[in-house]
Structure 1
Amino acid sequence: MKDIYVGRQAIFDRKMQVYAYELLFRQGTNNCSNVQQQFDGDSASSEVLINTFIEIGLERVAGPHRVFINLTRNLFLNHPEIPFDKDRVVMELLEDIPVDDHLIEAVTELSKRGYLLALDDYIFDPVWDPLLPLVDIIKVEFPALTLEQIEQGLPTLRRHNVKLLAEKIETEEEYQQCLALGFDLFQGYHFSRPKVIKGQRLQENQLVVLRLLSALNDPDAEIEDLVNLISQDASLSYKILRYINSAAIAMPRKVESIRQAIVFMGLARIRAWASLLAISRMEKKPQEYFTTALVRAHMCEQLVTKNGGCAPETAFSVGLLSILDLLVDRPIAEIVEELALSNEIQDALIDQQGPAGKALQCSKGYEVGDWENADYEDLDVAEITDIYLLASEHAFDEQQALHEP
Structure 2
Amino acid sequence: MIVFAREPIFTENGRVFAYQLTFRDGIGNAFASSVAEHNLENSQTNKVSWTELLEGYQSIISVSFSQLLDDIPEDLTPEDTFFEIDTLEVNDDALINRILDLKKVGFRFVCSDKKRINDLTLKFVDYVKVSMNNVAPMDVSNLRSQTINPQLKIIVTDVQTHDNFDRCKPLMFDYYQGFFFLSRKDKPSKDLPASRLAMLDLISELAKPELNIMRIKSIFEHDATLSYLLMRFINNPMVNKSHQIKSIKHAITYLGEVMLRKFVAIVSLTHINEGNTVELLQVSLIRARFCELISSHKGDKQTALTSFLAGLFSLIDVILDRDIQELMQKVTLAPEIETALVDKKGELHNMIRLCIGLESAHWASTFASTAELSVSTEEAGDYFLQAIRWANDFSIPVSKDYPVTKVR
Q: Tell me if 1:201 matches 2:150.
A: no
The C-alpha deviation readout for 1:252-293, integer Å capped at 9, x for no partner, is 423333333332323343233223123223233222111111
Per-residue Cα deviation, 1:6-63 (whole angstroms, up to 9, x for no partner):
21101111221111111111112667xx724xx2456423434525xx7120122212
Letter in 2 for 1:388: F
Contact 2:83-2:108 at 8 Å conserved across structures: yes
Gaps of 5+ in 1: none
- Tell me the residue number matched to 1:47: 41
Alignment of 1:143-154 (within 5 A): 143-154=133-144
Offset of 1:68 from its aligned partner? 0.6
Change over 3 Å in CA distance of 1:391–1:170 after alignment to 2: closer
Q: In structure 2, give the amino acid aligned to 1:194.
A: S
Classify the secondary structure of the residue corresponding to 2:53. Answer: helix
Distance 1:81 1:333 in 2: 50
Structure 1 residue identity aligned to 2:254: F
Q: Are the aligned partners of 1:363 and 1:374 in contact in 2 as well (CA < 8 Å)?
A: no
- Tell me: CA distance 1:376–1:222, structure 2 relative to 1, closer, same or farther (3 Å): farther
Q: Which residue of 2 aligns with 1:231?
A: 221
CA shift for structure 1 position 251: 4.7
1:286 and 2:277 aligned = yes
1:111-126 correspondence to structure 2 within 5 Å? 111-121=103-113, 125=116
Report the Cα distance in structure 2 between the residues aligned to 1:340 and 1:306, rounded to whole angstroms: 27
Q: Secondary structure of 2:3's partner?
A: coil
Distance (whole Å) between structure 2 residues aligned to residue 202 and residue 245 of structure 1: 39
- Aligned counterparts, 1:153-172, within 5 A: 153-157=143-147, 160-172=150-162
Equivalents in 2 of 1:99, 1:178: separation in Å?
33
Is the partner of 2:282 in helix, strand or coil?
helix
Deviation (angstroms), 1:353: 4.5
How far off its partner does 1:137 sit? Answer: 1.5
Give the Å deviation of 1:210: 4.2
Check whether the contact 2:144–2:150 (CA below 8 A) recurs between aligned residues: no
**Contact 2:14–2:277 under 8 Å retained in 1:** yes
**Distance in 2 separating the partners of 1:325 and 1:350:** 10
Report how many residues are paired: 390
Match of 1:246 among 223, 236, 242: 236
> Distance between the aligned counterparts of 1:267 and 1:354, measured in 2?
26
Partner of 1:266: 256
For the 8 Å contact 1:304–1:355, the answer to whether it is kept is no
Aligned match of 1:395: 391
Aligned partners of 1:173 and 1:42: how far apart in 2? 31
Looking at structure 2, the residues matched to 43 and 156 of structure 1 have their Cα atoms a distance apart, in angstroms, of 30
Q: Deviations over 1:218-254 (max 9, x none)?
A: 3346222222222221111220121021012135423
1:324-351 superposed Cα distances (whole Å, 9 cap, x missing partner): 1221233433322321223232223223
| CA-to-aligned-CA distance 1:144-201 (integer Å, 9 cap, x gap) | 223443345444459522222111123334323433333221102323x31353x622
TM-score (norm: length of structure 2): 0.85
Q: Cα distance 1:298–1:326, how it changes in 2: closer, same or farther (>3 A)?
A: same
RMSD: 2.8
1:299 Cα deviation (Å)?
1.1
1:322 partnered with 2:314: yes
- What is the correspondence of 1:64-213 to structure 2 with a 5 Å cutoff? 64-76=56-68, 78-83=69-74, 84-95=76-87, 98-102=89-93, 103-121=95-113, 125=116, 128-157=118-147, 160-191=150-181, 193-195=182-184, 197=186, 200-202=188-190, 208-213=195-200
**TM-score normalised over the length of structure 1:** 0.86
Amino-acid identity (%): 23
Following TM superposition, by how much is the alpha carbon of 1:89 offset from its aligned partner in structure 2, in angstroms? 1.1
* 8 Å Cα contact 2:161-2:183 kept in structure 1: no
Contact 2:270–2:281 (CA under 8 A) maintained in structure 1: yes
Q: Which stretch shows the higher mean deviation, 233-242 or 177-186?
A: 177-186
Residues 42, 24 of structure 1: alpha-carbon distance in 2 compared, 3 angstrom cutoff: closer
